[in-house]
Structure 1
């Protein structure tokens, strides 16, 4: 049995935190907490998406990624970016949050796998695909925080960076 090198070990330890937050940025749970359905569906003037729409988009891509990871089948990218932005309203908010946490629990089972260097989906490794989607998730959670700031729903009661 080969021993993973220190870089692999560090990556394997970091990867789960990339999805949930940590010292470098506010965690996803805090980012979604204390937000009413009406607030989540509010789209600030001049911005293209509400918090609910951003979360629906994250969920769409996590579902896509997990399909690749769990079936081992390469999946084509959608023909248009707009295909990855499902409609989301205040009525969808609780379902969107529940679905996100279900997807995140599934992702958790893969971030600590010992085969992160295994190839998946064309020319990516499992670790690269998971890292790519962790960054995608973090990117959109940054947008979620910005939308929350613009609708005066930040920080949540549990706290969050305010600078």
Structure 2
């Protein structure tokens, strides 16, 4: 199995193919905007904020990967949790799903040379490492979404991940 097929499997697992953990689709299935906005404490991020954060980093790196000009980041990582596009809840979910689909397609159309190349002239990190980290980052936050749903009582145990 090569890098490309591993990354495609990881993206599919994060996006909509349940396996060792709940996919994004399963994690947000049936979730209302009120539930997505819920916080147990002010020290936690809401599910909606987590998805905003995932949208920010997935889109930024997708733009780098596909050659779309990207502005210098304003703020810090904490600012990535805000709903900068002012999307409603269904649009926020659809947006991340579309980004994961776009990542799948971009990797599917890439070659080993692209995956071995560095992200940009400011970085010596190869794309293969960055994509692996992005997929792990997505899986980590999807796990947080399931955990938050369990805390608030909105997780259906029939969905798995006991």
Q: TM-score range by the shorter chain?
A: 0.7 to 0.9
Which residue, out of 82, 85, 104, partners 1:108? 104
1:12 Cα deviation (Å)? 2.3
Distance 1:24 1:106 in 2: 23
Residues 15 and 156 (structure 1), Cα distance of their counterparts in 2 relative to 1, 3 Å cut = farther
Alignment-derived partner of residue 90 in structure 2: 94
Distance 2:157 2:91 in 1: 20
Question: In the TM superposition, what are the counterparts of 1:1-163 in structure 2 within 5 Å?
Answer: 6=1, 9=2, 11-21=3-13, 22-45=18-41, 47-71=43-67, 79-87=75-83, 92-112=88-108, 113-115=110-112, 116-121=115-120, 122-155=123-156, 159-162=159-162
Deviates more, 1:23-32 or 1:12-21: 12-21
Q: How many residue pairs align between the two structures? A: 152
Q: Which consecutive unaligned segments of at least 5 residues does structure 2 have?
A: none
Q: Are 2:51 and 2:81, in contact at CA under 8 Å, matched by a contact in 1? A: no
Please identify runs of 4+ aligned residues in structure 1 that moved more than 6 A: 72-75
Q: Which consecutive unaligned segments of at least 5 residues does structure 1 have?
A: 1-5
TM-score in terms of structure 1 length = 0.80
Residues 47 and 149 (structure 1), Cα distance of their counterparts in 2 relative to 1, 3 Å cut = farther
**3-state SS of 2:88 partner:** helix
C-alpha RMSD over aligned residues: 2.6
1:1-49 CA distance string (max 9 Å, x none): xxxxx5xx2x322212323324321111101111111111111236421
TM-score in terms of structure 2 length = 0.80
1:115-158 CA distance string (max 9 Å, x none): 3212223212222221111111111111111111111111376x
Residues 53 and 126 (structure 1), Cα distance of their counterparts in 2 relative to 1, 3 Å cut = same
Residues 78 and 156 (structure 1), Cα distance of their counterparts in 2 relative to 1, 3 Å cut = farther
